[in-house]
Structure 1
C-alpha cells in the first residue's frame, strides 16, 4: 500500500520525484490500516492535507464512504478542493457563503453518494438542517473524519473557536472504529493535552519539529505609523518575490495598501469587509499568480492559504501571541530556500489587543437580557431581536452562537427561530477570567519575543514546546549582517504623514430609515419618517480623518479631550471641501448641536464658515435631551434615540445646498436624521462633513 500512496503523492504534487516527509506515510498508515484517532502536530508546509487526501483516496479504493473535513476558513476550503482534484477526488463544500441553489446541489451530491469528501465549516455542525438532514444520513458511512486546525478545539489555544466545541459531541455519536485525523501546526503541550482530554485516550499523537529553516526572522522597533509606512515603502521593493503584510484591523489594511499604491507598489487590502467572496478569491489568485507584490491582510488570510513560494510575511502591527505569529509568518518560505519574516510593533498594538481581550466573551447582562427576550417572545428570529435589545446585530448573533454550543444550552434553534430551553444558565466567570489571563500572558510573551536578543526561531520553537529547535543561524540576532536597515527615508516619512492627513473617509448616506416598515413606525413616533424616502436623504459626504489615525485624527482626539478644536484643522477642512464634487456648491454651513458640549462643534463651524466666507446658521436646536448616541448599539436604537431630539429654527435656514458638520461620524444616524429634517423644511441638498470617523472604516 505504501507504493500506491507514494504514487498518489506524485500525482497530487505533480512531481515524479516526490517523497514523503518524515511521518507522512506513518500518519496515512495509522488512518488507513489501523483506523486510529490521530493528532498530527507539524510545521506549516509539512503537508497535512496530503495525508488526509491520500488517506481518503485509499479508503475510497477500499470501498469506504466519503471523508468529512472540518475547515475554518473559506480560503482554506477553496485551496483544498483544488488540491484534491489532482487525485481525481470529487470534493464539495457546504458553507454559509453558498446561495440556496448551491447548497441544494451540494446536498443532492452528498446524499446521492456522488462525492469523495465533504468540506464544511464548524458552524455547519450547529445548523439543525445540516445535522439532521445531511450528516445523520451519511454518518454510518463516513470513511474518515478530519479536523483541520485542531488547536481551535482547545480554549487554551490562540485561536479557540466556540463552534469547534460541537466537534467533540458529534464524534461521540459516530462509529467508534471510524478513523479520525486532527491536524495543527500551532499547538503547545497545554493545547495538545487538552485536545487529547477532549477526544479521548484512543488518540495517538505524531509530532515533528516546528523549525522553519527557510525563514530569516527580524523584529523592528518602529512605533510611529508614518515611519512604519515609510519603512515598508522603502524596503518592500528590495525584497525579491511576493508576500503578505499583516495588520490588525480592516481600516489599517486599507491605510497600508493605499499608501503603498501611492508609491507605485501593487499592494491590495484583504479583509472580511470586502464586498464579496469573489473579490477575495480574485485577490488570493492574484497573489498566487504573482500579479501583485503583496496583500495587506487581517488574519482573514491565514490558516490554509497556500503559496509555497511566498517570500515574505511582514507584520505592520503585532499579532496577539507567539502562536498566532508562528502561524502567520509560517505562510512564507514553505517551498523555497529563503524567505523573510519581519515583525513591527506599533504604539496602538497594545490598545487593540486589549480591546480584543475585553470583547472576546459576551457580558452577563447582555446574556440575561437576550434570554429574557427569547423567553417572553417564544420563537423569535434574529431580525426581530434588535428592537428589544440595545446591542448590535453582530453582538446578538455572537451571543446566540456562544449560547448554542454551551452544554446544556439555554436556547434551541428551530428553523430560523430561537426558543428558551428549561436549562438555567450562568456565565462561566472562572473560565473567562482564566482565558483572559492567558491572553494577557501571551501578549507579554510576544513583547518578550520582540525584545529578545537570542535566536528568534529558537524562541518560537520553545514557546511551542518543540525542544528540538536549534539556533537558526540566519535571524537578525544570529546573523546581524542579514538585517534589514531600520534607517528611514525622511522624504517618505513626510509623504506618509501627508497621506495619513489626507485620507478622507466617505460618509455614505443611509438608503432607508429602518430595516423594515414596522421598525420605522416603531422608531419614528415623533418624526413619522417612512421606511424609505429619497427626498429626505443626505448626499455623500466626507470625514477629514479616522479617529487617532496618526494624522489629523490625533489632533481631533486631542481637541475633543480639551473641549476646543485647534484652528490648525481649518485649512485641511477647507482643502477637503474644495476637493469634493458638487452638483451645486453649498452656500452655507450648519452644525449638529450637542446638549453636553454646546460650543465644541458650534464654535468650530462658525470659524470654518468665516474662513470660507459663507454664513453659519444655527438651524438645528436640541428639542429633547436624549442619552448619548454612543450608548446606542444597533440601528433600531440609534435611530429611535434621535426621534424628537432635534427641532428646526425655520427662520435660520436657506434653501441652497448646505454643509452639515459634526465632530465625529460613526453609524451615520445623526446625519441621517438631522439631514432629513433640513430636507423636510426645504433645503435642496445636505452634504454631511465631519472632523473624524470613529467607525471601523474597513
Structure 2
C-alpha cells in the first residue's frame, strides 16, 4: 500500500478512536494491508482491547472507497452488535444489523443494502441458516460482498471454550464467495489447537495469522481459597466496596447469580443480576448502568462475556471457577482495558467440578438420538415442536442436535421446518472422544491454575500457547497477596442465614403439550381448571448455593436411598410454615417412587406428623406405572404417565391435599398425579418437592 493509503488508514483510525494522536498497534496495519491490498484471508489473535474492531472498520472504509460491496460481519451476541454499531458510527461507517430483536426493521435494512447505503451488515451465525435469508438474500449478498469478518472466531472450533455449531456454516459461506474477497477472523482467546482449526475453516495454508502477546499488564490476579459458599459470600459482603470502580461478579449458574445479587442488594450493595434468563431489555439496561458506573457490579453468568465493552472496568471476581484457563482468560479480559490497574480474584468452590461435568457433555450429540431424529425426518418438512413430539427429545437439546446435524449435512432447515438430506451420517466417535478428553484436561489445568505457586498471568499465557509468556510481577504469587482475607463475623452470619433460606415456587403446568394427541392422549390446549395442580413449593433448586449442595449429594448418581435426615425435614417444615396458601391442606399423599421410596415416604409421613394431618399413603401404579424416562419431550412424557396413577384405596377428602415428591424436573409427573387426585375428590393439590432442577 502506498504511503497515501496508509495515511488514509491512519486518519480513519483516529476518527474511530476519537484521538488525533492515535497510531496503529503492532500488527493492526499489517492486517489491514493484507485485507485491502492483497485481498487475503487473515486470522488475528490479540488480547481484548488491542483493537481488532479497528482493523475491520478501517479496512471496510478503504475497500468501500475502491468500489467494494458491504462488509458482512458475523457477530455472536446482541450486546456485541450494539457496541460494534456505535463504534462504526464514530468512524463514519454506516452499519446496520439483522437479528432476532429487530425483525420489524429487516425490510428497511435490505432496501438500504440494495441502494448501496450500507457499509457493514452485522448478522448472527444463526441468521445465515434462516431459510428465507439463506435462499432469497444470501446469494445476492455473496456476489456483492466486499469483505467477510468473523468476530469471536474461536466459536468456529469445537476445541474452543464457546463452540457454537452455527459457526461451522461459515466454511460453506466462504466456499461460495469469489476468491478475491478478503476474509478476517478475530478472537482474543485461542490456543494453538483452536488457531489451527479456525485457519483450516478459513482456507488452510494461505491464511495469514497475526498473533500478539496476551499478557495484560493492568491485571492483578489472585486466588482466594475459602471453605464454603457462605464464606465466599461473606467475603463479598465484607470487601465488595474495597474493590476499585465497578466490575463484574461471575457465577457458574443462573441460581447463584440471582441469589448472590439479592443478598448483596439486601445489605446495601448496588448490584444487579445478569443471566441468559434475564429479559433482553433488562440486560441492555444493566449493561448501560454498569458502563456509566451507576451500579457497583453486575452479578452475571457467562451470558455477560463476549461483546461487553467497558474499557475502565475495575474488577472481575469469580464465585466458582470456569472450566478452563482459556474461558477464564476470556472473562477476566473484560477488565482493565483502559486503566493502569484492575483487580481479578478467583474464589473457587467445591461444587465447581460437578458443574463442569454437566456442561462438558451438554453440547455433544448422542448417536442414538441423532439417528432417531434423522429417521423421523422422512418426508415433508417438520417443525421443531412437531418433531419434538415424534422423537422424545426436549426442545433445547433437540434444537442443538439439529444444528449439529445441519452442519454435518444430514438435515436441512427449509421453509416449514426440517428435512433429512439423504446424505449418510456417521457418528464420529473418535472426534468426540478427543474433544471430551481435551475438556477434561482443561478442567485439570484450571485446578492447576488455582494451585500454582508460579505467576498466574504466565500460566494463563502458556495455556493459550503464548510464546511471550513471562512472570507479570503483579499477581499474588509474584508480589504477595494484594487482597484482604478476613471475613467479618456479621457478614458470616448474614451469609449463612441467606444460604439457609428455603422455599422455591414450583409453577403449575397450564397447557397440555403440543403433539400429545398424536400419541393417542386425548388432550389439547389448556388443562382444565378442575384438573390443574396449584402452585407448589420446593425446598431448593439443585443449583442453589445453599441447600442445593445438600440436595446434589442426596440425588447424586449412586447415592443410597434412606429416610429423610432430621435437618432436611426441619427445613421442609420451614417451607410449609411460610407457604402462604389460601387454604391449609387437610391431608398428605406421597408420590410412589421407584428410586427413592424410603426418602419420599418418610418425608411425606414426617410432614404429616408435624402438621398433624392424616397421611393417606402413596398413589398407586397402574399397569406397572409410568413408562419412559425423565428428560424427553413433554408429549412423550405425558404419554408415558397418562392413566398410570390411581388413588384407589386412598380416602381422598374434599379439600386441599399436599402431594409430596422427591424431585421435580418437567413437572409432568406432578401434573398427572394432581389430575388423578382432583378426579378423586381433592378440591386442590399442593405439590411439595425436595429438589427442583434448574
TM-score range, shorter chain: over 0.9
Report the alpha carbon displacement of residue 490 of structure 1 after superposing the two structures with TM: 4.0
Are the aligned partners of 1:514 and 1:531 in contact in 2 as well (CA < 8 Å)?
A: no
Report the alpha carbon displacement of residue 596 of structure 1 after superposing the two structures with TM: 5.2
Are the aligned partners of 2:561 and 2:596 in contact in 1 as well (CA < 8 Å)?
A: no
| Change in 2 beyond 3 A, CA 1:36/1:308 | same
Deviations 1:633-665 (A, max 9, x none): 221122222111211248622222332222222
Of 124-133 and 208-217, deviating more is 124-133
User: Does 2:509 correspond to 1:507?
Assistant: no
| Change in 2 beyond 3 A, CA 1:73/1:332 | same
Aligned to 1:234: 238
Deviations 1:232-265 (A, max 9, x none): 2222121021111222222222232222223322
CA distance in 2 between partners of 1:533 and 1:491 (Å)? 50
Deviations 1:192-230 (A, max 9, x none): 233333323332122221110100001122252222222
Report the alpha carbon displacement of residue 97 of structure 1 after superposing the two structures with TM: 4.2
Map 1:197-216 onto structure 2 (within 5 A): 197-198=200-201, 199-216=203-220
CA distance in 2 between partners of 1:548 and 1:420 (Å)? 37
Are the aligned partners of 1:619 and 1:650 in contact in 2 as well (CA < 8 Å)?
A: no
Aligned equivalent of 2:359, options 347, 356, 359? 356
Are the aligned partners of 1:624 and 1:644 in contact in 2 as well (CA < 8 Å)?
A: no
Deviations 1:428-483 (A, max 9, x none): 11111111111111111221111111111112122222222332111101110x42
Aligned to 1:279: 282
CA distance in 2 between partners of 1:68 and 1:318 (Å)? 35
CA distance in 1 between partners of 2:548 and 2:79 (Å)? 34
Aligned to 1:535: 530
Aligned to 1:390: 392
| Aligned-residue RMSD, C-alpha | 2.3
Deviations 1:665-689 (A, max 9, x none): 2211122122223333443332222
Aligned to 1:418: 418
Aligned to 1:665: 664
CA distance in 2 between partners of 1:552 and 1:195 (Å)? 43
Of 618-627 and 603-612, deviating more is 618-627
Aligned to 2:144: 141
Aligned to 2:646: 647
Are the aligned partners of 1:270 and 1:297 in contact in 2 as well (CA < 8 Å)?
A: yes
Map 1:153-232 onto structure 2 (within 5 A): 153-198=156-201, 199-232=203-236
| Change in 2 beyond 3 A, CA 1:291/1:658 | farther
Aligned to 1:677: 676
The residue matched to 1:39 in structure 2 has which SS?
Answer: strand
Map 1:6-405 onto structure 2 (within 5 A): 6-99=10-103, 101-198=104-201, 199-274=203-278, 276-375=279-378, 377-405=379-407
| Change in 2 beyond 3 A, CA 1:126/1:529 | closer
The residue matched to 2:154 in structure 1 has which SS?
Answer: helix
Report the alpha carbon displacement of residue 531 of structure 1 after superposing the two structures with TM: 4.0
The residue matched to 2:85 in structure 1 has which SS?
Answer: helix
CA distance in 1 between partners of 2:447 and 2:602 (Å)? 44
Structure 1, gaps ≥5 residues long? none
Give the number of equivalent residue pairs: 685
Report the alpha carbon displacement of residue 146 of structure 1 after superposing the two structures with TM: 0.6
| Change in 2 beyond 3 A, CA 1:308/1:371 | same
CA distance in 2 between partners of 1:103 and 1:679 (Å)? 49
Are the aligned partners of 1:556 and 1:692 in contact in 2 as well (CA < 8 Å)?
A: yes
Of 594-603 and 257-266, deviating more is 594-603
Deviations 1:402-450 (A, max 9, x none): 01111xx222332133222232211111111111111111111221111
Report the alpha carbon displacement of residue 145 of structure 1 after superposing the two structures with TM: 1.2
| Change in 2 beyond 3 A, CA 1:142/1:184 | same
Aligned to 1:474: 474
| Change in 2 beyond 3 A, CA 1:369/1:280 | same
Q: Calculate the TM-score normalised by the size of structure 1.
A: 0.93
Are the aligned partners of 1:521 and 1:530 in contact in 2 as well (CA < 8 Å)?
A: no
Report the alpha carbon displacement of residue 110 of structure 1 after superposing the two structures with TM: 2.9
